[in-house]
Amino acid sequence: MPDLKLHQEMLPTGVAYIEAEGFLDAHTFEDMDNLVQAVFRQGAHKLIVRLEKLDYISSAGAGVFVGSVGQARENGGDIVFLRPSASVKEVFDLLGLTAIFRFAETREDAEGCF
Amino acid sequence: MSKERLLTITNQSQNLSEVRQVVAEMLDPSGFDRRQTNEIILAVDEGLANVVEHAYQGGVGEVNLIFGLDEETFRVHIRDNGIRFEPNELRDAVDIHAHIKKGLKGGLGLFLMKRIMDDVYYTHDGPDYVNELVMVKKVPAVSGEAS
C-alpha cells in the first residue's frame, strides 16, 4: 500500500530538515503534522522540507504546512520547500501556495532563506 | 466508446490510494493529458476524503463510487448513507492568508474540487444513498476537430 516515509534531522545551524517520500494524503497527513509539531516543541521553527521524492499530495497534506507556517513565522522561522516534485508543485499552484511559501533547489539555498 | 467502473469501499482512509489507482487506470488512455489526469485524481481524492472523514462520524459505513468515461465527459458519483451533508458554499476562491493566520489545516478540498472539475454538486435522498457527490469534467476537444 502506498505510504509516507519521513526522515528528520537537526542541522548544525539549528534548522530542522525533513525529507518526505511517498504519499501525503488524508490517510498519512497526521504523521507529517505530528512531526512538524514535535519539531516546534523542540523549539525549532526553521524548517526545510524536501519534497523531491513525494509522489502525491492532497489538500490534507498541504494543509499541514498551511496550518503550521504561521506558527513558524511568529517564532522567527519559516517553512522552506526543497525541490518539490512536478506533481506536488502542480497542487501547490492550484492552491496558490507558490506565492506564499519559499522554494529552493539546494539545501544551502534553503538554509539561506532564513 | 464508453466505460464505467463501480466500486464499493468502506469509509477508511487507507482505501483512498486504491481509488486513486482505479481513476488513473480508467483515464489511461483518455483525452486528458497527464496534468489533467493528475488533477482529476486529486479532485476524486478530495471528494472521497471528505466522505471518509465526515459521513459516518467515526463509525464504519459503505461508500459507493461510480466512474463513467465517454467521448465527452468523465463523471464521478460518490454515494454514502451517512449524515446529510449540505455544503454552505462551493467556493470559487479560498483565502489562504486567512488559513495561515488562523492556523487552519482543513477546508481546502471543496475549493480544489470546484477549481479542477467543470461541475461539482451534491444530491440527496436517492434510492440507495443519503448523499451523492457528482463531479463532471469535459474531455478536451481533439485539436483540428470541429467543436
The 8 Å CB, 24+ separation contacts for B15-24 are: B15/B52, B16/A25, B16/A26, B16/A27, B16/B45, B16/B48, B16/B49, B16/B52, B17/A1, B17/A2, B17/A23, B17/A25, B17/A27, B19/B44, B19/B45, B19/B48, B19/B65, B20/A56, B20/B44, B20/B45, B22/B65, B22/B67, B23/B67
Q: Looking at residues A43-72, what average pLDDT do you find?
A: 98
Annotated domain spans of chain B = 3-138
Separation CA B95–CA B78 (nearest Å): 27
B-chain CB neighbours of A71 within 8 Å are 103
Q: Do A95 and B105 touch (CB under 8 A)?
A: no
Q: Any idea which fold A4-111 has?
A: Transcription Regulator spoIIAA (3.30.750)
pLDDT tier at B93 (50, 70, 90 boundaries)?
Answer: confident
Percentage of chain B beyond pLDDT 70 is 95
Reported as a pLDDT band with limits 50, 70 and 90, residue B147 is very low
Q: Locate B102 and state its grid cell.
A: 488562523
A57, closest residue in chain B (CA to CA): B42
d(CA B135, CA A113): 40
Do B17 and A26 lie within an 8 Å CB cutoff? no
Q: Are A20 and A49 in contact (CB under 8 A)?
A: yes
- The ipTM (two decimal places) reads 0.95
Q: Which fold has domain B3-138?
A: Heat Shock Protein 90 (3.30.565)
Chain A partners within 8 Å of B99 (Cβ): 63, 66-67
pLDDT at B86: 84
Of B38, B97, B105, the CB nearest to A63: B105
Name the residue ranges covered by the structural domains of chain A.
4-111
